Amino acid sequence: MNTLQMALADGMTITKRNALKIKRAPDLLGGVVVLPIVLVLLFAYVFGSMIELPGMSYTEYLLPGIFVMTITTSAQITGYTLTLDLQKGIFDRFRTLPMSPSAVLTGQTVSDVITNVTSIVTMALVGLLVGWRIHTSPLEAVLGFLVLLLFAYAFSWVTATVALALRTPEMFNNVATIVSLPLIFLSNAFVDSSRLPGPLKVIAEWSPISTLIQGTRELFGNTSPAMPVSSAWPLQHAVLASILWSLVLLVVFVPLATRLYKRAVSQ
Amino acid sequence: MPDAIVAEGLVKKYGDVVALDGMELTVPEGTVFGLLGPNGAGKTTTVRILTTLLKPDAGHAKVAGFDVVRDARRLRAHIGASGQYAAVDDHLTGAENLEMVGRLYHLGVKRAKQRARELLERFDLTEAGDRPVQGYSGGMRRRLDLAGALVASPPVLFLDEPTTGLDPRARASLWDVISELVTAGTTVLLTTQYMEEADRLADRIGVVDHGHVIALGTADELKDQVGGDRIELSVTSAADLEAVRRTLAPLAVGDMQIDATALQVTIPVTGGAAALTTALGHLSTERITVRDAGLRRPTLDDVFLTLTGHEADEKIKETVR
């Protein structure tokens, strides 16, 4: 077996392990299936009934934002699971095995893709029930889901990096909540970012979260000519910019997480 | 007989704290070596270096003929390790845990499954094998963890405090399993805080303190170094302590220990039960009231007291991880 084959085989073994864990752990499953349902229903009915948008329903405007909010939240599972494993000594066992050292992190992040697919499918189905529709071609729709998944995968590496730097589940959960809330609310997820005041507007328009939400809206056709898009470059080229952001995150955080993993387990 | 484990001059520092300071050990193939010492003496650090988890700052070591730093990758196929904190996955079943390890040893899907079943049976976990580990008792988890270390039938096995925290029954059953392995020819390096465990399992014992071996020998040789039996007795009043010391001084074959807080006196003696009878006779003649008295074999504390001149307890405060 060569190095690449070994990395793939071991990555799959670890992926399977993590998938089994998520299936058996009710707390994790709740975050993957139940929370997305609650979010879609809550936002669609509470805000959807109060807010009027020119030329489109607020529910349609909202759903891509909920998708993105959910995948950034569930990327935290990667970080949380890593901190739990760090405390338990299972990584010591892994490191005494003749396995590929990269498999732990790839297995972890790839199993997150499985959970993200589950969340997104759940949300899309519930979304269809509450009036969300895709207005574009099937090809664009599929691309929309792929762009979401790619970003989610890249974001898992970000949370893995944070988790490996912080090391304890308690610290990680605190930091993740403090960071992820502003990230979502300082974007175009719920409001038109171009109407935010001064510096908040700049932050929201250049946030990767806004870019991804705008890109997803375009690919699903959840836009309206009556609602012009801000002139900021990433929002004008949202699909391309979303893909670029994902690649940048991967290039930066894959090596960083790998380095921190090595440091965290060799003490 | 070739040596399965050779460590020479291992040094490991964490900042200013020296965890290993010239650790040396040699374990011939097919034997059990026990590293005996208190928390923080360097036992776990030694095991972590020998199992490739840590790199030493100085010195070198070979396990099964492979250098632990240079040949780390190749070495891993030849060792098994089972730690103090059972490294098993709570949400996976016993069988899934072992299969996963088998897959990571690259045994192939079929062989990994088969090997998992064999080990579950051998470790008396067949019934529990399809239940998530979450519901296992402490003893079952340790057995599963040990089974995980044996998946690839490694010729060299590292057991880091395999029975710490287990109840006496679970401990005894784990000892049986380890004894069987040794009979089958596996080389074992065992760390423990328990003299009894080292006594029961190890062919040779190295007493560790301050990061290096301070005494080496069979269990009997070490006990001889420590001295023979001890009389331990307690009195009802501190005023009696001096009288006890004076009365029993002729019986003592070494320094008596007097604990003024616990009102306890420990006297190294020879002659076993007869010495105890004599001592109690003397004390009775002197009309000293004895609250409790007994004869015991040397413990880890005694080994430490004799070999290092300080109590094992003091060391616990210096625990390094």
Name the closest residue on chain A to residue B80, using Cα atoms: A96
Domain ranges of chain B: 3-218, 228-297
Q: In sequence order, which residues have a C-beta less than 8 Å from that of residue B172 and are 6 or more positions away? A: none
Return the CA Rg of chain B: 23
* pLDDT tens for each residue of A37-87: 998 999 888 888 788 888 888 899 999 999 999 998 888 888 988 998 888
| DSSP-derived secondary structure letter, B132 | B
Q: Flag whether residue B87 sits within 8 Å of chain A, measured between CB atoms.
A: yes
Nearest CB among B54, B86, B92 relative to A17 is that of: B92
pLDDT for residue B48:
92
Using alpha carbons, list the distances in angstroms from residue B203 to B39, B210, B218. 22, 23, 6
Mean pLDDT computed over every residue of chain B: 87
* Whether pLDDT at B321 is above 50: no
Residue A10 or residue A90, greater confidence: A10
Q: Which residue has the higher pLDDT, A125 or B253?
A: A125
Q: What is the mean pLDDT of chain A?
A: 90
- A94 CB neighbours in chain B (<8 A) are 104
Q: What is the mean pLDDT of residues A225-237?
A: 88
Counting residues of chain B whose pLDDT is more than 90, the rounded percentage is 44
- Lowest average pLDDT, out of A121-125, A146-150, B178-182, goes to B178-182
pLDDT score of A248 more than 60: yes
Alpha-carbon gap, residue A196 to B23, rounded angstroms:
65
User: In chain A, positions 73-92, which contact chain B (CB-CB < 8 Å)?
Assistant: 88-90, 92
- Contact between B244 and B235 (Cβ < 8 Å): yes
Per-residue pLDDT band for A156 (boundaries 50, 70, 90) equals very high
B128 Cβ contact list (under 8 Å, min separation 6): B94, B120, B135, B136, B140
Query: Is it the case that residue A13 has pLDDT exceeding 70?
Result: yes
**Residue B56 backbone zone (phi > 0: left; psi -120 to 50: alpha; other: beta):** beta
Residue contact A6–B106, C-beta within 8 A: yes
B103 to A9: CB separation less than 8 angstroms, yes or no: yes
What pLDDT sits at residue A90? 84
Asked if residue B319 has pLDDT above 60, the reply is: no
Three-point CA angle A254, A257, A260, nearest 5°: 150
What is the average pLDDT across B136-150? Answer: 90
Interchain proximity B87–A6, CB inside 8 Å: no
How confident is the model over B199-225, as a mean pLDDT? 87
Please report which confidence band the pLDDT of residue A153 belongs to, taking 50, 70 and 90 as the band edges.
very high
Which residues in chain B have Cβ-Cβ distances shorter than 8 Å to A21?
A: 89, 91-92
Q: Which of B53, B91, B104 sits opposite A10 (nearest CB)?
A: B104
Q: Could you give the ipTM of this predicted complex?
A: 0.83
Higher pLDDT, A88 or B13: B13
Number of other residues whose CB lies within 10 A of the CB of residue B151: 25
Nearest chain B CA: its distance from A153 CA (Å): 24
Chain A contacts of B55, Cβ < 8 Å? 266
At A33, the pLDDT band (50, 70, 90 cuts) reads: confident
Q: Residue with structure tokens 């040699």?
A: B26
Determine the pLDDT at residue B304. Answer: 67
The closest CB to that of A24, out of B79, B104, B132, belongs to: B132
Please give the pLDDT value at position B300: 61
Among B73, B83, B321, beta carbon nearest to A98 = B73
Q: What percent of chain A has pLDDT over 90?
A: 55
Q: Which pLDDT belongs to residue B260?
A: 86
In this prediction, residues A108-135 reach a mean pLDDT of 92
Q: For chain B, say whether A97 makes contact (Cβ under 8 Å).
A: yes
Distance CA A74, CA A71 (A): 5
Among A143, A123, A142, A28, CA closest to A74:
A28
∠ at Cα A159 (A80, A33), nearest 5°?
60
- How confident is the model over A212-240, as a mean pLDDT? 92
Residue A41, pLDDT score: 92
Instruction: Return the CATH number of B3-218, one of 3.40.50.300, 3.40.1360.10, 3.40.50.460, 3.30.70.920.
Output: 3.40.50.300
Please report residues of B whose CB lies closer than 8 A to that of A99: 104-105
Q: For residue B265, give the 3-state DSSP assignment.
A: strand
Residues of A in contact with B89 (CB under 8 A): 17, 21, 90
pLDDT digit string, tens, across residues A95-110 = 888 888 889 999 999 9
Query: In this structure, which topology does domain B228-297 adopt according to CATH?
Result: Alpha-Beta Plaits (3.30.70)
Selection from A80-84, A176-180, B97-101, B265-269 with the highest mean pLDDT: B97-101
Size of interface A-B (CB pairs under 8 A): 75
Is B221 or A267 the better-scoring residue by pLDDT? B221
What gap in Å lies between CA B294 and CA B277, rounded to an integer? Answer: 10
Find residues 46-85 of chain B whose CB sits inside 8 Å of chain A.
Answer: 48, 51-55, 73-74, 76-77, 79-81, 83-85
pLDDT at site B163: 87
Question: Which is higher by pLDDT, B316 or B122?
Answer: B122
How does pLDDT run across B86-124, given as a tens digit for each residue? Answer: 678 888 999 999 999 999 999 999 999 999 999 999 888
Taking only the tens place, the pLDDT of each residue in B296-307 is 877 666 776 777
Look at residue B9 in the predicted model and tell me its pLDDT.
95
Does the pLDDT of residue B315 top 60, yes or no?
no
How far apart CA B122 and CA A260 sit, in angstroms, is 39
Residue B185 three-state SS: coil
CA A114 to chain CA mean position, Å = 12
What is the mean pLDDT of the segment spanning B242-263? 86
Among the partner-chain residues A17, A24, A89, the one whose CB lies closest to the CB of B87 is A89
Query: What is the per-residue pLDDT for A21?
Result: 85
